Structures are given as C-alpha cells and as structure tokens.
Amino acid sequence: MKKCLIVTAVMLAMVGCGGGSNPAAVVEECWKHLSKGDVQRAVTLMDVTPTERAFYEIAYGEQCGELQAAGGVKEFETTGISEGTEDASVDAIVRLKDGQEIVATYTLIKREGKWLITE
C-alpha cells in the first residue's frame, strides 16, 4: 500500500490540483479531496486537458481506496514554498492516519489568477 500512496504523491507532484490563491492551500485541498475519495473534485483542481482529466480520474480512483485504507490524511505540513508571479513550488509532508509520511515537492503555475499543480 505504501508504494501506491507514493505513486499518488508523485502523480500529484507531476500533474496538479489547484484553483486557489495560495499554492500550499491548493496542494492541501487536493489531498483532502483525495482522502475523502472525491476524485472528481480533486481532478477539477488540476491543470489538465479534458482527455487527461479522464486518465487521472481513473488513476486517482484506484489510489483513493488505499489512501482511505490508511485512514486518510491526518495532517498536511508545508515545509517550504517558493512563489513567483506565475509559478511556485511547495515542499510538503503529508502525514496519514496510519503513521505513513509522504514527502514531496509540488510545482504550480498560475492560470487565470488561480494556482494549479502542473508538470
């Protein structure tokens, strides 16, 4: 299960969740939606094309069961942030209720005034 959760973290770091005014809050919001199994809401926050959206809904849907089996997200901690006018990066630790920790760096881009996690 730990391997699958790491895959989820890597996919988030590669693609994105977002749609807010604060890059760290966007990443945290995405994790919260995934923790609740709300894949469609999480994916709507991502900077993906409609074709990619379907792929990520399927991929994240498969991972959400394992995230929920771990008890979901207990805590999200931002450990670093670098924000420019059009791009940002967020270093974070996601602590799961079963004790696992996922450490990742997320890259975001600003589109139409909203932050989105992207490649």
- What structural domains and CATH numbers belong to the chain? 2-110 (3.10.450.50)
Query: Which distant-in-sequence residues (6+ apart) come within 8 Å of 75 by Cβ?
Result: 94, 95
Helix, strand, or coil (residue 29): helix
62, containing H or E segment: helix 50-69
What's the token pair of residue 79? 């450990």
Kindly report the pTM of this predicted structure. 0.78
53-111 pLDDT, tens digit each: 999 899 888 888 888 899 999 999 999 999 999 999 999 999 999 999 999 999 999 99
Pick the closest to residue 8 from 42, 44, 51, 41 (CA basis): 42
